[in-house]
Structure 1
Amino acid sequence: MNSTINQDSINKALWAACDTFRGTISADTYKDYILTMLFLKYISDVWQDHYEGYKAEYGDEPELIDEMMKNERFVLPQSASFYTLYEQRHEPGNGERIDQALHAIEEANGTKLKDAGKSVFQDISFNTDRLGEEKQKNIILRHLLEDFAKPDLNLKPSRVGTLDVIGNAYEYLIKNFAASGGQKAGEFYTPPEVSELLAELLSPKPGESICDPACGSGSLLMKCGRKVVEHHGSKEYALYGQEAIGSTWSLAKMNMFLHGEDNHKIEWGDTIRNPKLLDQNGDLMLFDVVTANPPFSLDKWGHDEAENDRFSRFRRGIPPKTRGDYAFVLHMIETLKPGSGRMGVVVPHGVLFRGASEGRIRQKLIEENLLEAVIGLPEKLFYGTGIPAAILMFRKNKSDNSVLFIDASREFKSGKNQNQLTQENIDKIVSVFRAGRSEDKYSHLASLDEIKANDFNLNIPRYVDTFEEEEEIDLMAVRAERLKLKAELAELEQEMEGYLKELGYVAD
């Protein structure tokens, strides 16, 4: 099977593999088993594909091929290959063998799968009593190995192409678990087309540093990096991220590993309470590009510690105790480089108009001339929430004091449960943003005075008038149509009465 595979086929095969665990452990737990096995299968297929390529080129020369394989981007010990585990699947000890394979991969690849001593696989064990007693566990894991050996999960590079297998699968599984009530707090992922939009709006350049302080599986970060390759033919960029959920941090590390993103630093921890991306002086690192899709209106975000924040991130005001949106915005603002720093963040619409402390923070950010654009997105773009979101664009060292408002809420491809931005929708937003132009019923370039006159309320309808006048009704034409219908109805009733008389239902 060397035909190109599509993500939909991979997703269906993974969802079928989930049946192996259903009824034994909860969805939010077996997601991690499925994705870890996907990682192991993917690197095994890449390794085997390259090995077979050398074998076709040099013949059956194991020692020569082993030497050639030492030049690969990663190391896969033979005992740790998915195919070795698959061959032994009928023997006792599947859980122990899989754990040993993961450990061997980690050890063989040095720092690529570790960060500050934390192991990517330390939060997952296949040799656990959570999967039942030894006999049951062995059977479940045999089924899992057999699921991943099916043709639909043949992940050779020639079949996968440029697909972000781990990131896309993670998003697919989160979406399905969210739909079935298995969603974990905070795991709203960024749909690929929204990542594409953010990356285009931010337009990263060679030599720049890119940071996502709520990076999830790392897909948005990698999308930004790929824009440097796509537009400039360069891989000179550095990716930085932080993720609060341990298992999701592991996925981000695996994702970077799979895509050869070796120039990265992904930290595990709470960005607001304990930012880990610090310079040698212990201050917040500064970046050229900062982007994120933080959890919407996060409760218990760290309000009590904010007043004594040693980084002074909340000097413009402390966000409300139960809504952490501005906590992330303020953190991101503080990490922008003074000259080149620019930022794009996804927020719920309440951030645009809510009052009290949020209103005061918003006013200060506008008065400091940091806000560049407000972009309204369609509803139902994000799984786990149907509410429409907006993108706020900020920039240090702005050349003017205006703010561009774009209402892109009505332009999307409608789906059964979710809406999608098309490439055409994305291109239009990016074009209008780069030109900074007003367009009837779509965008408006507002002056600082205009925003001030609106009490620093950024609600998009205040600036972009999308009102469509109703077509004028010709009352005489309506009256004529009504009289015509009335005459037709009278004629039909007379005809019906004649039929009823013939049938004897009406007396003469």
Structure 2
Amino acid sequence: MHENGTKGVNEIETMARDLVALIISTKKPDYFFWTFSLLFVYYHEQHREPNEAQLSVKEGGGLTSEYSVEQAIRSGSHYLNFYYDFKVEQSDDVTNKAVENLVLKEMRIRLDELFGSLSWGNQSSLVCSFWIAFLNQWWLHQGRKASYRMVQSSLSKMYVKLMDVNGDEYVYDPACSVGCLLSAFANSKVSHLHGVEKDEQMIALGKITQVVFSEFDFKLSSSDPLQKLDAIGCDKSIVPQGNYHAVVSVPVWGQKRWYKHNSTEENEFHAHSYDTVLPPQTSADYAYIIHMLKSMRPEDGRMAIVVPHGVLFRKNTEGTIRKRIVKSNLLDAIIALPPKLFAGSPVSTVLLIFKANKSDQLIQFIDVSDQYLPGRSLNQLKEESVEFVVDNYFSRKSGAKSRLVTINEIAANHYNLNTTLYLKPIDKCGQQSLKEIREERSTLLSKIDGVDREIGKGFKALGYGVTSTKSE
């Protein structure tokens, strides 16, 4: 505990990690994960300033009985418009019930400790940090079973720095999951954050993110942006589609049958197509790219999206769309990322940066695919890699891991954007010519022969009839 009575960031992260360890040690981790999440909402609203609280709670608030715990959970559930049937989950087994009560008691102790340590006026950001840390720890433990998508903090920082958004600008995420990427912009004091997510469980958790970041214009809603023209997740009279300063996302890749097109509805066709070309039903990757391009401001909009490496070189209609996007001079940078940054997905990924009204006709290629801290199930993007990308992107530097490429060169490669075509691997042999390598080999072999002869002489002196140790 710090001298001012508040918790530090490291203590918050430790508390989140310990709570997740407690939850996964039980026989019903999913049940206790949702139980804690809903209790967290209750506590959050209970400890807010009275004029700001949105959830009706019992004054004086100690949770002293099982019934009051259940009531608090149901209050949080009702507030999020997310119904969770606890009677179905609870066991009649006395032993399991005793364990459940112990886990609930420990959760309440941790929540009392967390919220009781806060001076709400200037420490609410720690609650935000705790919630994101809790989601991240659960996501790390779940691995391939994770029901939602998280973005590592280092990658989120890269998004924030590359988009360079000021406090009054609007940011939109069309596949916001639980809102973790948008929360990174909130931590950078960006006021207007809007997102949509079609998965109901994800948006339920996202609503908690919205609650803890309520001091911002942080709005999340449940919708599929690829099915509805107005699926922007905000009041279109305030921020109509096409007026977002920054559009960011890490969507689910390779979604199939993403859109049922009615050829008679020309407005819908034009909304989802790029220059009259509609993405294939086999993958929604380009559908998200097109939606995001059409959601950013035409005069100064920026956009960032993580996609599989295949987006850079797949052919047919995707190849046609890629060619037209490149020729439109909206693509600004391609950043090759390390493998295994996302749970359940070992595929190689890239971060695409788009920009309206570019000042040049160049696309920058940056490679940090080998710059990571290896992990058992997930790799971690290094903080210095973030700084390397940001520095090279804004300075437009060229080097071994960064290069500016003309559209003419890309056209000569048939609009294939595979990073290996433009960023050559470093030659570990240096600048030696083949002749020099052969001469060096000959010298080494001569030295080996000399050593071999000396060894033979030694054996002969000892009375052995061996004149050479060479096997050939």
TM-score interval for Structure 1 and Structure 2 normalised by the shorter chain: 0.7 to 0.9
Please give the secondary structure, in 1, of the residue aligned with 2:372. coil
Contact 1:379 1:409 in 2 (8 A): yes
Distance change >3 Å, CA 393–CA 282, structure 1 → 2:
closer
CA distance in 1, matches of 2:397, 2:264: 40
- Partner of residue 37 from structure 1, selected from 39, 45, 48: 39
Q: Which amino acid aligns with 1:456?
A: Y
Matched, 1:183 2:146: yes
3-state SS, counterpart of residue 383 of structure 1:
coil
1:61 aligns with none
Mapped pair 1:202 → 2:163: yes
What do residues 184-243 of structure 1 show as CA deviations (whole Å, max 9, x unaligned)? 4xx33211111110111001113211100111111211212333x3xxxxx6x3111001
Indicate which of 402, 421, 426 corresponds to 1:467.
426
1:37-436 to 2 correspondence within 5 Å? Answer: 37-41=39-43, 46=47, 69-71=49-51, 77-78=57-58, 81=61, 83-84=62-63, 87-89=64-66, 93=67, 96-102=70-76, 119-126=79-86, 128-133=87-92, 139=98, 141-150=100-109, 154-156=113-115, 158=118, 162=126, 164-179=129-144, 182-184=145-147, 187-227=148-188, 229=189, 237-274=191-228, 275-277=230-232, 279-280=236-237, 284=241, 286-302=243-259, 304=261, 308=265, 310-311=267-268, 312-316=270-274, 317-436=277-396
Task: Give 2:247's aligned amino acid.
Answer: V
69-78 vs 348-357, greater mean Cα deviation: 69-78
Match of 2:401 among 423, 432, 442: 442
User: Which deviates further from its counterpart, 143-152 or 424-433?
Assistant: 143-152
The change in CA–CA distance for 1:482 and 1:101 in structure 2 (over 3 A counts) is: same
Q: Distance in 2 between matches of 1:415 and 1:475?
A: 39
Q: Please, which moves more after superposition, 460-469 or 3-12?
A: 3-12
Structure 1, residues 308-347: CA drift from partner, whole Å, max 9, x if none? 4744233322222221111111111111111121100111
CA contact (8 A) 2:368 2:401 kept: yes
**Offset at 1:177?**
1.7
- Kept in 2, the 8 Å contact 1:73–1:260? The answer is no
**2:306 is aligned with what amino acid?**
V
CA 1:308–1:41 in structure 2 vs 1: closer, same or farther (change >3 Å)?
same
Q: Which residue does 2:24 correspond to in 1?
A: 18
Cα pair distance change 1:78/1:141, threshold 3 Å: farther
Relative to 1, partners in 2 of residues 1:285 and 1:485: Cα closer, same or farther, differing over 3 Å? same
Paired-residue identity, %: 22
Q: Post-superposition shift, 1:152?
A: 9.0
Compute the displacement of 1:488 (Å).
7.2
Distance 1:35 1:486, change over 3 A: farther
How many residues are treated as equivalent by the alignment? 439
Deviation at 1:125, TM superposition (A): 3.6
* Residues 1:99 and 1:407: Cα distance change in structure 2 (over 3 Å): closer
Letter in structure 2 aligned against 1:193:
S
Q: CA deviation at 1:475?
A: 1.8
Q: Secondary structure at the match of 1:300?
A: coil
1:13 positional shift? 2.2
After superposing the two structures, state which structure 1 stretch, 344-353 or 483-492, moved more: 483-492
SS at match of 1:397: coil
Deviations 1:379-423 (A, max 9, x none): 122221122210111112222221111112122233344322222
Q: Is the 8 A contact 2:249 2:306 kept in 1?
A: yes
The alignment yields a C-alpha RMSD, in angstroms, of 3.3
The 1:12/1:487 distance shift into structure 2, 3 A limit, reads farther
Unaligned runs of 5+ in 1: 48-68, 107-118, 230-234, 499-508
CA distance in 2, matches of 1:29, 1:80: 27
In structure 1, what is the Cα distance between the partners aligned to 2:205 and 2:183?
Answer: 13
Given that residues 246 and 302 in structure 2 are in contact (C-alpha distance below 8 angstroms), is that contact kept between their aligned partners in structure 1?
Answer: yes
The one-letter code sitting in structure 1 at the alignment partner of 2:149 is F
1:133-191 C-alpha deviation (Å, 9 max, x unpaired): 59789656523321313459832355996462222222321232225xx334xx33211
TM-score, normalised on structure 2?
A: 0.82
Q: Which residue of 2 aligns with 1:453?
A: 412
Displacement of 1:303 in angstroms is: 5.1
Aligned residue identity for 1:479: L
Classify 1:356/1:415 alpha carbon distance in 2 versus 1 (closer, same or farther; 3 Å). Answer: same
Cα shift at 1:293? 0.4
Q: 1:294 to 1:97 in 2, by over 3 A?
A: same
* 1:453, distance to aligned residue in structure 2 (A): 1.0
Change in Cα spacing, 1:448 to 1:99, as seen in structure 2 (3 Å) is: same
- CA contact under 8 A between 1:241 and 1:266: conserved in structure 2? yes
Please say if residues 32 and 247 of structure 1, whose CA atoms lie closer than 8 Å, have aligned partners that are also in contact.
Answer: no
Distance change >3 Å, CA 97–CA 496, structure 1 → 2: farther
1:483 to 449, 452, 461: 449
Contact 1:307 1:318 in 2 (8 A): no
Cα displacement (A) at 1:270: 1.5
Please name the residue that 2:469 is paired with: none
CA distance in 1: counterparts of 2:460 and 2:15, whole angstroms? 63
Partner secondary structure for residue 289 of structure 2: helix
Secondary structure at the aligned position of 1:265 is classed as strand
Tell me the CA shift for residue 28 of structure 1.
5.4
Q: SS where residue 195 of structure 2 aligns?
A: strand
Partners of 1:290 and 1:491 in 2: how far apart?
76
| Contact kept in structure 2, 1:166 and 1:255, CA below 8 Å | yes
**Do the aligned residues in 1 keep the contact of 2:242 with 2:294 (CA within 8 Å)?**
no
Alpha-carbon distance, 1:265 to partner: 2.1
- Cα pair 2:39 2:73 within 8 Å, conserved: no
